[in-house]
Chain A
Amino acid sequence: MSVLYVALPLAILLGAAALLACIRCIRSGQYDDLETPAVRMLIDDKKTESPQ
């Protein structure tokens, strides 16, 4: 069971890495608009042929 002393801090470190990634996402503004992207992904694939 002494593996606990390694596994537990390791698990928390992994979690902390995910937390840092999440904070980075929030800071970069990915969570500012929670409405438009949802609609955009629903419909975009129907008509993608754009003239440009």
Chain B
Amino acid sequence: MTSSQTIVADRLAHATSELSPAVTPNTPAGVTLPCTHCGLPTHCEAGTHPEQVFCCAGCLGAYQLIHGWGLEDFYALRDQMKLTGAAQAAGRANRYEQFDQADFLGPSKPVALNDGTCRAEFAIHGLHCGACAWLIENAAAREPGLLSARVKMSDHTIGIVFDPAEIRLSQVARLLDRLGYGLAPIDPQRDDQVQQENRRLLIQIAIAGFFAANAMWIAIALYAGDYSGVEAEHRYFLGLIGTALGVAAVAGPGRTFFVGALASLRTWTPHMDLPVALGLSVGTLVGSANAIAGRGHVYFDSLATLVFFLLIGRWIQFRQQQRAARAVDLMLRITPRHASLVVAETDQAVESEKIVLVDTLQLGDIIRVAAGEHVPADGQVVQGRSNIDRSLLTGESQPMPVCSGDAVAAGTINLTSPIDVQVTATGRESRIGRVMQSVEAAATEKTPIVQLADRIGGVFVVAVTLLALVTFAYWSQVSLATATAHATALLIVACPCALALATPLAIAVGLGRAAKRNILIRDGQALQQLSGRGVMWFDKTGTLTEGRQRVSTLQGSIEGLRLAAGVEASCRHPVAQAIVLDARRRGLTLPISARLDRVANSGVVGEAEQQTIFVGNRQHLEQHGIVIEAELHRRLEQLAANGESPILIAVGGVVITLLGLSDPLRCGALEMVAELGRRGWSMGILSGDHPQIVSGVAQQLGLAPERCFGGLSPEEKLAAIRESRHVRQTVAMVGDGANDAAALAAADVGIALRGGAEVSLQAAPVFIASGQLSSLVTLLRGAKATTRLVLLNFALSLGYNLVAVGLAMAGWISPLIAALLMPLSSVSVLALTLAWRSFEETAASQSQASGALGERV
């Protein structure tokens, strides 16, 4: 028993509490590698095979399952898709029984098919890219009884066909859960409007395309006829048919521009639809009159093509926005939708549990929250004691102990043991619901910035109309007919098709490219605002730091760590997890005969290798009669001054190890701060965490301490943002907690990082799905490039229009020049937009991932 001898020797050596200073200060012989399954940076020993790194048991389980099926290609495919999304395998496999109950399923209830099989459709969470769809579909093919599974990436649903005699839905749900995907019944209020709108837009494009293509070949026949000679009778016929097509294009799919123009006239807000509608109507009227009269130019080909191009631009924009909005929507389901209701039986002694929808909970109901679950509603603990992770609400990195009588809030996580909660508020009335409401309020108080293109569009209409009048007045000295011809030529040729395309197209392409870089942008305005410089506020927990406790200092015996890890192995508390992780990282073999005896709020008591182990803070050890000497006190205070939380480990009644726990900086944080500083952004921290910890982080990052605030409530954060908005600069907020939601909405640009709470996404127009801080730099660069592109497009299309208007006023516009200028301006804007390089890889993100799918857009 060499190990027990070592313990005795250790204990003797430390009997006088002389802890050897910092055996291994920060990082031991270890490296940080991405987890093979989810890509989360994980500390492991040097020399570990890069494909054998797992951050948690869930990822290891998913990896083994995938290997067992021979589906290793998933990883290659996923890496090719270049996504490091964390497929979070939640350990709630036993929560799927209700999938066999019809009233739980609602609209997802299986429909029996003729051949005895059933079909059902579900919403699925955790999809990242095509590799996920492939994995699910292939895994389903290997499961007996599951006949087919078809994933729809666009709306995150899955349609399955199964044999009810062979497999139950709960088994399907469990299978997908093991792979890291959550299944949920389709929301009854799921809006099919988006799908309907998408189809409607596509049909409009198809119709406009049909008219444009046919008008085009008739136009070719006419132009060819002008050169090689054509009978007047045929020319008249072609002109008439072509005009009919052009008018149909304007009256059919082009109607939407007239609707928009009317609306903008009614509200007196300038809009791009206005000049477009003006150009279209003048072109249609004059073209039709000319066609019927059989003289002059007919503009039908330009009209049809214009409608076609503009509709395509609209559809691209619609799709990109929907994509971002949907991703945000999917992330919003943070509070669980089901609760386990405790029903008292008639004899009052027996209790049973029933799974119910949260919406049906009544005030005063008692619900049971198992360890590791989200609390579904606000309430008061009536039975049990546990620790609650409230980082979602308050940003505190330390868990809060609760016992009978304490209040708990919806959305927080119950960490250690089951508790019974009496419901005091649900849904919008709960604390998180109220935060969401203040988000909505903060979002509406912003003054909407009218898009530059729309403003120009308004000016444009006035200017063009005035110029047309001037032209008419000037040429009427010659003859009335000439004046009319030149003025209408001006009105048509000045139709700002390129101008109308310029902004939406550039922004839509920018949004699409950003999405390929895992940056989802809901609102194109954000790009405009991020292109300059301003103030950027950061949340601390989960944004600048990892949001997870990690052992950063170890003083004294490493044996203490080993024994403590053995005792804590079965505990879900973050401190316990940090201790176990650190022991694994140091390659320690955990004692086999370890037992966890008691879990208190301040620490644990257990037994390992026939010795009693105490792990906890000072109070915990003193409660159990362990003497803490003056020297140790000094060390404890020193650790606290460094922003670390001290944890003591006592073996057999003597303290042998002192651990300092802290929340380390995320990788890339230092580089990001440096790069933002170079770009002229001023930065600060708004955190709910302890001010001492915040100033520690600020010091590490080199941020000015007067801009870093700790101990803020959500309301105080909001106030800080509002205050900084008085300065005429863009105010951006980067965060991921629910406590940031109001601040994210109040800032000019809210940027939500994944990895923390996803509630903030509703408030933030920008969502960085990769969760990497380097994406922030990519975002800023891309925003600048996109804004430049918009301005360049403007210059280009305005240049065309200026030349065209000049020519028309001089009376030089021949039908050929008009026909050349109009499509050429649109095409050049299109070409420039597609060739423009925005959202390039930054050096930092390049080093992080090797694949490059995003090159093509």
Q: Check A43–B134 contact: CB distance below 8 A.
A: yes
Q: Check A35–B199 contact: CB distance below 8 A.
A: no
**8 Å CB interface, A2-43 against B:** 4-5, 8, 11-12, 15-16, 18-19, 22-23, 26-27, 29, 31-36, 38-40, 42-43
Report the Cα distance A22→B206, complex, angstroms: 7
Mask of B195-224 contacts with A, CB within 8 angstroms, 1/0 = 100110011001100100110001000000
Q: How many residues of B contact A (CB 8 A)?
A: 37
Known contacts A31-B202, A38-B130: A12-B214 contact under CB 8 Å = yes
Q: Check B199–A51 contact: CB distance below 8 A.
A: no
Chain A residues with CB under 8 Å of B231's CB are 1
* B354 interface residue per 8 A CB criterion: no
Report the Cα distance A19→B199, complex, angstroms: 14
Known contacts A26-B206, A39-B130: A33-B155 contact under CB 8 Å = yes
Chain A residues with CB under 8 Å of B206's CB are 19, 22-23, 26
Known contacts A31-B202, A33-B153, A52-B144: A39-B237 contact under CB 8 Å = no
Report the Cα distance A6→B70, complex, angstroms: 62
**Which residue of B134, B155, B214, B245 is within 8 Å of A39 (Cβ)?**
B134
- Classify the secondary structure of A's interface with B: helix
* B407 interface residue per 8 A CB criterion: no
Q: Check A43–B153 contact: CB distance below 8 A.
A: no
Chain B residues with CB under 8 Å of A23's CB are 203, 206-207
A21 to chain B, nearest CB (A): 10
Report the Cα distance A5→B233, complex, angstroms: 11
Closest to B74 in A: A43
Chain A residues with CB under 8 Å of B155's CB are 32-33
Q: Check A31–B199 contact: CB distance below 8 A.
A: yes
Known contacts A15-B210, A15-B213, A15-B214: A36-B141 contact under CB 8 Å = no
Closest to B154 in A: A33
**Which residue of B70, B77, B133 is within 8 Å of A36 (Cβ)?**
B133
Report the Cα distance A47→B234, complex, angstroms: 59
Chain A residues with CB under 8 Å of B130's CB are 35-36, 38-40, 42
Report the Cα distance A15→B245, complex, angstroms: 12
Report the Cα distance A11→B241, complex, angstroms: 12
B143 to chain A, nearest CB (A): 9
Q: Check B199–A27 contact: CB distance below 8 A.
A: yes
**Which residue of B73, B133, B214, B241 is within 8 Å of A40 (Cβ)?**
B133
Chain A residues with CB under 8 Å of B245's CB are 12
Report the Cα distance A52→B161, complex, angstroms: 13
Report the Cα distance A19→B131, complex, angstroms: 34
Chain A residues with CB under 8 Å of B134's CB are 39-40, 43
Mask of B1-13 contacts with A, CB within 8 angstroms, 1/0 = 0000000000000
Chain B residues with CB under 8 Å of A8's CB are 218, 237-238, 241
Chain B residues with CB under 8 Å of A27's CB are 199, 203
Chain A residues with CB under 8 Å of B213's CB are 15
B234 to chain A, nearest CB (A): 6
Chain B residues with CB under 8 Å of A1's CB are 231, 234
B164 to chain A, nearest CB (A): 15
Chain B residues with CB under 8 Å of A47's CB are 70, 73, 138
Chain A residues with CB under 8 Å of B199's CB are 26-27, 29, 31-32
Known contacts A5-B237, A22-B206, A27-B199: A36-B152 contact under CB 8 Å = yes
* B142 interface residue per 8 A CB criterion: yes
Chain B residues with CB under 8 Å of A16's CB are 210
Q: Check A52–B137 contact: CB distance below 8 A.
A: no
Report the Cα distance A40→B100, complex, angstroms: 30
* B151 interface residue per 8 A CB criterion: yes
Mask of B134-174 contacts with A, CB within 8 angstroms, 1/0 = 10011001101001001111110000000000000000000
B221 to chain A, nearest CB (A): 9
Q: Check B198–A32 contact: CB distance below 8 A.
A: yes
Report the Cα distance A42→B134, complex, angstroms: 10
Q: How many residues of A contact B (CB 8 A)?
A: 31
Q: Check B207–A51 contact: CB distance below 8 A.
A: no
Chain B residues with CB under 8 Å of A22's CB are 206
Q: Check A33–B152 contact: CB distance below 8 A.
A: yes
Chain A residues with CB under 8 Å of B133's CB are 36, 39-40
Chain A residues with CB under 8 Å of B137's CB are 40
Q: Check B153–A52 contact: CB distance below 8 A.
A: no
**8 Å CB interface, B224-268 against A:** 231, 234, 237-238, 241, 245
Chain B residues with CB under 8 Å of A50's CB are 141-142
Q: Check B144–A36 contact: CB distance below 8 A.
A: no
B523 to chain A, nearest CB (A): 22
Chain A residues with CB under 8 Å of B153's CB are 33, 35-36, 39
Report the Cα distance A34→B150, complex, angstroms: 14
Report the Cα distance A40→B131, complex, angstroms: 9
Chain A residues with CB under 8 Å of B129's CB are 39
A1 to chain B, nearest CB (A): 6
B748 to chain A, nearest CB (A): 32
Closest to B319 in A: A34
Report the Cα distance A23→B153, complex, angstroms: 22
Chain A residues with CB under 8 Å of B241's CB are 8, 12
Report the Cα distance A4→B225, complex, angstroms: 14
Chain B residues with CB under 8 Å of A29's CB are 195, 199
Chain B residues with CB under 8 Å of A5's CB are 237
Report the Cα distance A8→B496, complex, angstroms: 32
Report the Cα distance A33→B150, complex, angstroms: 11
Q: Check B152–A32 contact: CB distance below 8 A.
A: yes
Known contacts A5-B237, A39-B134: A34-B154 contact under CB 8 Å = yes
Chain A residues with CB under 8 Å of B150's CB are 36
Report the Cα distance A31→B152, complex, angstroms: 11
**Which residue of B77, B207, B238 is within 8 Å of A19 (Cβ)?**
B207
B469 to chain A, nearest CB (A): 39
Most buried by A among B152, B206, B213: B206
Chain A residues with CB under 8 Å of B138's CB are 47
Chain A residues with CB under 8 Å of B237's CB are 4-5, 8
A37 to chain B, nearest CB (A): 9
A7 to chain B, nearest CB (A): 11
Most buried by B among A16, A33, A38: A33
Report the Cα distance A42→B853, complex, angstroms: 14
B468 to chain A, nearest CB (A): 34
A9 to chain B, nearest CB (A): 8
Q: Check B154–A36 contact: CB distance below 8 A.
A: yes
Report the Cα distance A15→B238, complex, angstroms: 17
Report the Cα distance A23→B206, complex, angstroms: 7
Q: Check B73–A46 contact: CB distance below 8 A.
A: yes
Report the Cα distance A40→B130, complex, angstroms: 8
Report the Cα distance A29→B203, complex, angstroms: 12
Report the Cα distance A22→B198, complex, angstroms: 14
Report the Cα distance A40→B73, complex, angstroms: 14
A25 to chain B, nearest CB (A): 9
Report the Cα distance A38→B153, complex, angstroms: 11
**Which residue of B70, B147, B152, B195 is within 8 Å of A52 (Cβ)?**
B147
Question: Please, could you name 5 A-B residue pairs with CB atoms under 8 Å apart, sorted by A?
Answer: A16-B210, A19-B206, A33-B152, A36-B154, A51-B144
Instruction: In the A-B complex, list the 3 residue pairs whose CB atoms are closest, starting with the nearest.
Output: A39-B130, A50-B141, A33-B154
Given contacts A32-B199, A43-B77, A47-B70, 8 further A-B contacts (CB under 8 A): A5-B237, A23-B203, A29-B199, A33-B152, A36-B150, A40-B130, A47-B138, A52-B144
